[in-house]
């Protein structure tokens, strides 16, 4: 009986060092011992090569590699015929593509390293899809034949005929002074400042404004809410939605699920193994798509894809040993914090080489590992993807409740903020000029006051009770504003 699974062999180009090892992967491979060339590597090689067709998936080479450079991933054989792009042998593979629709906003949600940026490059015409044939790339006629009968055939035909112009990132910065977009992005007071002097949030709004003022048929926004507070995120979302016309394509990659919910008309989820392979689902409605991502189960495919600026020198293990020596080896702390935050997978890496999300997870672990009566946590969701944000929120809340301590949390992600908070302190005033902190209120009263200042209403999703932003001037929005109930009106 034929094997229903195919294997992807991934060789990490940064970790694989044939000149510094004894080629343990090749020497221990049972297929190589039978005389077949399953793994090819010599001390003079730049990197090992693994034959995916000969590999039997035993995983011995993965365990024997002293640098942890190899991984063997099984995936269903039906995905092999749906390969959209692969950069080279033993590298990341993308299956399928999101399907944008004119006049609607397509939202993309998935963990980091799952192929969202690759998909954007292909849809923007910046990257030619090779259908997995990296050694003999197909021409455009073959690519169009592959997508025959789908909406992507017409889409790529228009791209090739230059009927569609895509904007992915800021260009022509000297043409920024367009008063309408500058005003809506709250950038009017920054006109006289140099771009290099702008803060992260100001740069993000500036980048969004530069994209929005240009004439194009395809607009792509990769994490437009990064560095922005709640009010600015919603302003950016409104500005992006103002671009909608019957013949325009708009694609947004976003980890803040509240903003994605408000922005999108439909959603494609991406799942797989980060840095190994990514699969794009068919389009779903906004509510269904986000719920599928949160559940980790795609009902249409009957597939479950999920079971449930700090700069330091030295490894993560050395840092934890120095700062929280007693806590990080304690069994309860390991169970409550270390394992959910996935610290074990990065514990031997140099801290200065960690990504933003990895640094954030280490910082949260350090904070919770120190004995204190009051914990001050500033933006714990920064740099984390959607899945990691929900896990971090769960870790913080459970730890604080079990330890019977107090925590002050500053958070812009609305879902994370409402999950964490028992009481709310609302700050109002004029940004960068003056502010006033109000007395602590209940979650409902505090959020109601805050949202009334923004003139935005939220409701609960009936399935998992996550907050959802009501569309501006919708029936729900109007009803809740009239009743003065801006936060959570049961469906």
3-state helix, strand, coil in the chain (%, to 5): 40, 20, 45
Q: Are 98 and 119 in contact (CB under 8 A)?
A: yes
Question: How confident is the model at residue 80, as a pLDDT?
Answer: 78
- Tokens at residue 38, please? 């399953």
Handedness of CA 13, 19, 21, 25 (dihedral sign): positive
Task: For residue 470, give Cα distances in angstroms to 184, 258, 329, 451.
Answer: 20, 10, 45, 12
Task: Calculate helix-pair angle for 443-454, 230-241, nearest 10 degrees.
Answer: 50
Range 362-400 burial, b when 16+ CB lie within 10 A, else e: bbbbbbbbeeeeebebebbbbbbbbbbbbbbbebbbebb
Per-residue pLDDT tens over the stretch 159-210: 888 878 888 743 323 333 343 344 444 555 555 566 666 667 777 878 888 8
- Tokens (6 digits) for 208: 């969004």
Q: How far apart are CA 467 and CA 418, in angstroms?
A: 8
- Write down the pLDDT at residue 232: 87
- Low-confidence residues of the chain: pLDDT under 50: 1-2, 169-185, 309-312, 489, 491
pLDDT of residue 17: 92
The token pair at 227 is 């560095």
In angstroms, the first-to-last Cα distance of the chain is 51
Distance CA 248, CA 252 (A): 13
**Quick count: other Cβ atoms within 10 Å of Cβ 308?**
5
As a whole number of angstroms, the distance between CA 145 and CA 147 comes to: 5
Q: Give me the half-sphere count of Cα atoms (radius 13 Å) on the Cβ side of residue 83.
A: 23
Q: Which domains does the chain have, with CATH numbers?
A: 6-75 (3.30.70.20), 80-304 (3.40.50.300)
Q: Given this model, what pLDDT does residue 283 score?
A: 94
Question: Rounded CA gap, 163 and 454, in Å?
Answer: 39
Is residue 275 within 8 Å of residue 356, measured between CB atoms? no
Nearest to 469 by CA among 485, 457, 478: 457
Q: What is the Cα–Cα distance from 151 to 246, expressed in whole angstroms?
A: 16
Half-sphere exposure of 200 (CA within 13 A, CB side): 10
Packed helices 316-323 and 356-369: angle between N→C axes, nearest 10 degrees? 20
CA-nearest of 96, 90, 53, 92 to 78 is 96
What tokens were used for 471? Answer: 């569309």
Q: What pLDDT, on a 0 to 100 scale, did the predictor assign at position 170? A: 38
Predicted pLDDT of residue 309: 33
């Amino acid at each position: 009986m034929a094997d229903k699974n195919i294997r992807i062999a991934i060789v990490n180009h940064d970790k694989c060092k044939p000149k510094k090892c004894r080629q343990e992967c090749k020497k221990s491979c049972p297929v190589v011992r039978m005389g077949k060339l399953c793994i090819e590597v010599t001390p003079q090689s730049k990197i090992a090569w693994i034959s995916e067709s000969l590999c039997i998936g035993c995983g011995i080479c993965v365990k024997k590699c002293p640098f942890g450079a190899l991984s063997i991933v099984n995936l269903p054989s039906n995905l092999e015929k749906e390969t959209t792009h692969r950069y080279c042998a033993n590298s990341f593979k993308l299956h399928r593509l999101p399907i944008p629709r004119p006049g609607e906003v397509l939202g993309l949600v998935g963990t980091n390293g799952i192929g969202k940026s690759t998909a954007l490059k292909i849809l923007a015409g910046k990257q030619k899809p090779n259908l997995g044939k990296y050694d003999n790339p197909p021409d455009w006629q073959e690519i169009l034949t592959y997508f025959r009968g789908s909406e992507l055939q017409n889409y790529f035909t228009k791209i090739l005929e230059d009927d569609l112009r895509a904007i992915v990132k800021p260009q022509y910065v000297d043409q920024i002074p367009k008063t309408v977009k500058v005003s809506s992005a709250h950038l009017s007071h920054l006109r006289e400042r140099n771009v290099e002097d702008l803060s992260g949030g100001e740069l993000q709004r500036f980048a969004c404004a530069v994209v929005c003022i240009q004439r194009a048929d395809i607009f792509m926004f990769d994490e437009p809410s990064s560095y922005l507070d709640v009010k600015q995120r919603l302003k950016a979302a409104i500005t992006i939605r103002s671009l909608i016309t019957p013949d325009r394509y708009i694609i947004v990659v976003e980890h803040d699920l509240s903003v994605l919910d408000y922005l999108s008309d439909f959603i494609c989820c991406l799942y797989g193994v980060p840095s190994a392979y990514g699969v794009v689902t068919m389009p779903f409605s906004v509510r269904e798509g986000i719920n599928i991502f949160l559940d980790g189960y795609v009902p249409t495919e009957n597939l479950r894809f999920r079971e449930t600026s700090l700069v330091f020198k030295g490894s993560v293990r050395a840092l934890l040993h120095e700062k929280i020596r007693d806590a990080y080896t304690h069994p309860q702390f390991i169970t409550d914090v270390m394992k959910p935050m996935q610290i074990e997978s990065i514990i031997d890496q140099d801290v200065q080489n960690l990504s933003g999300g990895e640094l954030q997870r280490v910082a949260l672990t350090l904070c919770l590992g120190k004995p204190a009566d009051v914990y001050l946590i500033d933006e714990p969701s920064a740099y984390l993807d959607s899945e990691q944000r929900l896990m971090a929120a769960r870790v913080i809340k459970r730890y604080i409740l079990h330890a019977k301590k107090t925590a002050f949390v500053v958070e812009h992600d609305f879902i994370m903020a409402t999950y964490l908070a028992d009481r709310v302190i609302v700050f109002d005033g004029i940004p960068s000029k003056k502010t006033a902190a109000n007395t602590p209120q209940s979650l409902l009263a505090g959020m109601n006051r805050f949202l009334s200042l923004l003139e935005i209403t939220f409701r609960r999703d009936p399935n998992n009770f996550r907050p959802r932003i009501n569309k501006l001037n919708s029936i729900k929005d109007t009803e809740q504003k009239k009743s003065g109930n801006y936060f959570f009106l049961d469906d």
